[in-house]
Chains A and B, each alone.
Chain A
Amino acid sequence: MILKDDTHLDVRLQRRDTSPLPEGIWLRFQAINRGKDPSYNYRWQLHEDGRWFNAWHSGDTSDWQTPFDTPLPDQPTAELPATLMHQIREQLSLAQFMTQPPFQQDKTVEDGSYYIVTAQSDGQTHEVIYNAVSPPPVPFLEKIVHQYGY
């Protein structure tokens, strides 16, 4: 399930990647700065075969309201090992991701990140927007970029 009416959200969330996940792509992860600096924004897509495509923001701060200004690469950034793939599936399952509320937030946090996780399972697509919160599976997924994204 994708949040249909997002007009009440930050314009940067409205501009997140909501394109349908193509066949064979299992997971999409987007990290957007809630502050004005988009430099560390990134997004990645994970194919079922382990190919991992990651794109960092260019660092150009002239348009801070557009969260991503670079396309995903044509070639995979990394091939995630099978064990990690298994762990990711396990984390999503443990977190009962497919039934999580589509919008979760902590209104007391200033700055920080928006995380958007989109997954396909059994023909269903589910998206969750995390606004300044990072419950499971977010912390686990966030580590992937630190391990393979630099």
Chain B
Amino acid sequence: MNRNHSQTQAQKKSPPTRPHTAAPTTTQLPEIEPSAAANQAKQFLSPDVPNILTLQRTMGNKAIQRLIAQRQSKAQRHWMPGEPEEVQAMPAIQRHWMPGEPEEVQTKRVQREASDDERQETPALQRVALSRGFGVPGHGQHRAMIRETVSQNLWGNAAAAPTIQTWKKGVIGGGEDTGTKTTEGWKKATPNAEPGDKSEFKLGEERTPAVFAGPITFSQVELPADGKSTVQGVTKWTPPTRAVKWGFVGNDYGSTVTDTGQVKVGDNTQGNESVKLQVKAEDAADGSAFTTGFMTLYEAKFFQAKLDFPKFAAGTYSHPNFTIGLNGKFDMDYQPAAHRADATIKVKFAFPDEDLSKMGLGQVVSTIISQIERQQKFISQIAAQWSGRYQFKNVREPQSIWGKLNPVDVKVNVIPVTSGQHFTVNLYSKTKGRANVGGGQVHMFAGSDVPKPAFNPGTAQGELTRVRRNTPTPILFANNSADVPGDAAAKLQFLGTYLSRIHNPKFEITLVGHASATGSKDHNKALSDRRAQNVTAILTGAGAGHHKMNASGVGQEGADASEQWRKVEITSDTPPGWQNMQDTTAHEFGHMIGLGDEYLGDDPTQTLATHHALVAKAFGKDYADQVAKRGDTDYASVMEGGDDVRIQHYVTFWSALAEATQKAALPDPKFGYDDWKFIG
């Protein structure tokens, strides 16, 4: 067993454990009178020093200090049978505990000791006192009192000794709700009091200090740092008719205070969201008699957000019958507390080529079952393709407040109704035709519900064309450098972002680093590797990591000494065997939420998809031009010829969310489109 008692800080913080099987109990302490408190303090002191208070009275503090020092040195080698090793490692006085002490109290003591650096520095006997019931919730003021009383008397802390008088009178007797304010609020010295002065220090004896003040109170303790808000500070002095001088302790953050204690807050929180302003009131005649109080100044935007957030978060923000695009119509309901935005499309189903009145009973039953199944398939196909694909986030500052809204999940609901529908969806079982959406009517024909594999095979090449035209290649580097030049980095960032938003197909991107034929081969091989890796890092950093990246360097292979060989070349391909798939149901649903076709259709003069402007608003024109222009190449977007619901396809949900929250009374200023961004 290790009996080396030298302590490291880590050992100090290790929670000591001990065998204890008694059921946890809660210790309830009664309200205590000053004399009772003193007695209780004695009672809770270690049995090792049962007469310490008596000793103090008879011997004085210096003698007690010597006694404690002796006991400490003995106690270093004292331990309790069966104690765990980590407890053994502590000085005995520190690890002392009382038999029968409830486990809860032990635990609290251990937690305090483990977490509170300040208390780690507190002499052991103090902690013994703390552990003995003064740590019970609701008795903080008593705990604080005992700590001070015992420690000052035992250790003879000259600097803090005068405080004792104040604590005795003000806290033990008064039983006031104190906390930290009390520490500041009752800090009046009694003149001529010295530690060890028996005539002055008699624990339990009540004395009336010359002057003392209660803590400063304010009608409002949290204020915006707007440079104009004012708040009145109030103090209670004994005797009451003192002249008071007001000021600040530490940084005033541009605040001022009048002779009557009216504080006008400053407007400079020095870049912090909040700062503590400590106001001080001191006796005009005796500067050693003072009291202080705190208020919190918040940076103005932060303060407003702090006020607005709980109210906003408690609400629901709806935009019923949100209409957008040629045919889009749905309800938007945003619940901040649930982190959820529901886009709900109410649908009345019809089955135009099935006339139940002309069927026999058996056929009616089977037809109705079939109708229910097809209806359910329509709903589930949409949910699978559209729901929860991307999220939104609120970017309003301060993010420490508004960031709590994030992320916002988007749930797409298709609800069958018999009236009040957004759309009538006509499901044909026999009739073949061309699915369409218009005038609140959706027509889905036989076979419309079956996704088509190998659809528009040119789509693979179309996708590649789009990627390649956004690929800056080759990337040229400076001599002996693997740092990607700034202009190329910006282009790579765009490519990476573009790729990040394509989930089908997943491309194979090959990045080959080169070096010019100057210097050693080994050096150039390593240099070309770094070049390829650095380019790859930009792409993956932009979110394109789900595509396959093959990065390698070939050094000076095949190169001459010219600068054109200091490069990375990028090529891309679709994975072998990749096929485009068309999903008509998902495509028509895009129209139902207000998206237009991304292929060139009936009007060749209309080269922009109807949602182009919204995509540009959300992602910028450069990106919109890549994904919402008609007459471009085939590609696998669900609104072109594929089944990939891409991030730009959430723009109408984004618009509905922005519009719904824009109507809300809060926050101030109101949310707008710029406050909502996409995740994904």
Listed in ascending order, the chain A residues whose CB lies under 8 Å from chain B are 8-11, 13, 31, 33-37, 39-40, 61-62, 64, 105-114, 131-132, 146
Chain A residues, Cβ within 8 Å of B432: 40, 146
Contact between A111 and B436, CB atoms less than 8 A apart: yes
Beyond A113-B436, A114-B602, 14 extra complex contacts between A and B, CB < 8 Å = A8-B604, A34-B434, A35-B435, A35-B584, A35-B597, A40-B434, A40-B445, A40-B447, A61-B452, A61-B456, A62-B456, A110-B327, A110-B588, A111-B591
Contact between B588 and A111, CB atoms less than 8 A apart: yes
Contact between A108 and B455, CB atoms less than 8 A apart: no
Distance between Cα atoms of A97 and B591 in the complex (Å)? 32
Chain A residues, Cβ within 8 Å of B599: 36
Which listed residue, A13, A37, A62, A114, touches B458 by the CB 8 Å rule?
Answer: A62
21 A-B contact pairs sorted by A residue (CB < 8 Å): A8-B605, A9-B602, A10-B604, A34-B434, A34-B601, A61-B455, A61-B456, A62-B457, A106-B439, A107-B326, A109-B438, A110-B436, A110-B591, A111-B437, A111-B588, A111-B597, A112-B434, A112-B435, A113-B433, A131-B602, A132-B602
Contact string, B434-455, partner A, CB cutoff 8 A, digits 1/0?
1111110001010100001011
Chain B residues, Cβ within 8 Å of A111: 434-437, 587-588, 591, 597
Contact between A36 and B326, CB atoms less than 8 A apart: no
Contact between B439 and A10, CB atoms less than 8 A apart: no
Q: Does B431 touch A at the CB level, under 8 Å?
A: yes
Q: Which residue of B lies closest to A40 (CB)?
A: B432
Contact between B439 and A109, CB atoms less than 8 A apart: yes
Contact A108:B584 (CB < 8 A) given known A8-B604, A10-B604, A64-B641: no
Chain A residues, Cβ within 8 Å of B452: 37, 39, 61
Listed in ascending order, the chain B residues whose CB lies under 8 Å from chain A are 326-327, 430-439, 443, 445, 447, 452, 454-458, 582, 584, 587-588, 591, 596-597, 599-605, 640-641
Distance between Cα atoms of A39 and B641 in the complex (Å)? 13
Contact between A35 and B587, CB atoms less than 8 A apart: yes
Distance between Cα atoms of A39 and B432 in the complex (Å)? 10
Contact between A64 and B327, CB atoms less than 8 A apart: no
Chain A residues, Cβ within 8 Å of B435: 35, 111-112
Contact A110:B433 (CB < 8 A) given known A61-B457, A64-B641: no
Contact between B327 and A108, CB atoms less than 8 A apart: yes
Q: Which residue of B lies closest to A10 (CB)?
A: B602
Distance between Cα atoms of A11 and B458 in the complex (Å)? 18
Distance between Cα atoms of A37 and B455 in the complex (Å)? 8
Distance between Cα atoms of A107 and B600 in the complex (Å)? 14
Chain B residues, Cβ within 8 Å of A10: 600-604
Chain B residues, Cβ within 8 Å of A39: 452
Most buried by A among B431, B438, B603: B438
Contact between A108 and B326, CB atoms less than 8 A apart: yes
Distance between Cα atoms of A131 and B458 in the complex (Å)? 26
Distance between Cα atoms of A9 and B606 in the complex (Å)? 11
Distance between Cα atoms of A131 and B433 in the complex (Å)? 15
**Number of A-B contacts defined by CB within 8 Å:** 98
Chain B residues, Cβ within 8 Å of A110: 326-327, 436-438, 588, 591, 596-597
Distance between Cα atoms of A102 and B418 in the complex (Å)? 39
Most buried by B among A34, A36, A64, A109: A36
Which listed residue, B443, B584, B600, touches A37 by the CB 8 Å rule?
Answer: B584
Chain B residues, Cβ within 8 Å of A132: 436, 438, 602
Contact between B582 and A36, CB atoms less than 8 A apart: yes
Contact between A112 and B584, CB atoms less than 8 A apart: no
Contact A146:B457 (CB < 8 A) given known A37-B582, A108-B327: no
Distance between Cα atoms of A39 and B455 in the complex (Å)? 10
Contact between B641 and A36, CB atoms less than 8 A apart: yes
Chain B residues, Cβ within 8 Å of A31: 434
Q: Which residue of B lies closest to A7 (CB)?
A: B604
Chain A residues, Cβ within 8 Å of B434: 31, 33-35, 37, 40, 111-113
Contact between B602 and A108, CB atoms less than 8 A apart: no
Most buried by B among A35, A40, A62: A35
Q: For residue B339, give the distance in angstroms from its CB to the closest CB of chain A.
A: 32
Q: Give 9 nearest A-B pairs by CB, closest first.
A: A112-B436, A109-B438, A111-B436, A33-B434, A110-B591, A36-B641, A113-B434, A10-B602, A110-B437
Contact between A109 and B457, CB atoms less than 8 A apart: no
Chain A residues, Cβ within 8 Å of B438: 106, 108-110, 112, 132
Q: Which residue of A lies closest to B455 (CB)?
A: A61
Chain A residues, Cβ within 8 Å of B431: 146
Chain B residues, Cβ within 8 Å of A106: 438-439
Distance between Cα atoms of A64 and B631 in the complex (Å)? 13
Distance between Cα atoms of A69 and B456 in the complex (Å)? 15
Contact A9:B436 (CB < 8 A) given known A61-B456, A64-B456, A110-B591: no
Most buried by B among A8, A105, A109: A109
Distance between Cα atoms of A35 and B443 in the complex (Å)? 13
Chain B residues, Cβ within 8 Å of A107: 326
Chain A residues, Cβ within 8 Å of B433: 40, 113
Q: Which residue of B lies closest to A14 (CB)?
A: B604
Chain A residues, Cβ within 8 Å of B587: 35, 111
Q: For residue B424, give the distance in angstroms from its CB to the closest CB of chain A.
A: 14
Distance between Cα atoms of A21 and B457 in the complex (Å)? 35
Which listed residue, B602, B604, B640, touches A36 by the CB 8 Å rule?
Answer: B640
Most buried by B among A9, A107, A110, A114: A110
Q: For residue B532, give the distance in angstroms from its CB to the closest CB of chain A.
A: 36
Chain A residues, Cβ within 8 Å of B588: 110-111
Distance between Cα atoms of A37 and B435 in the complex (Å)? 10
Distance between Cα atoms of A13 and B436 in the complex (Å)? 18
Distance between Cα atoms of A36 and B445 in the complex (Å)? 15
Chain B residues, Cβ within 8 Å of A113: 433-434, 436
Chain A residues, Cβ within 8 Å of B457: 61-62
Q: For residue A15, give the distance in angstroms from its CB to the closest CB of chain B.
A: 13
Q: Which residue of B lies closest to A145 (CB)?
A: B432
Contact A34:B436 (CB < 8 A) given known A61-B457, A105-B602, A110-B597: yes
Q: Which residue of B lies closest to A59 (CB)?
A: B452
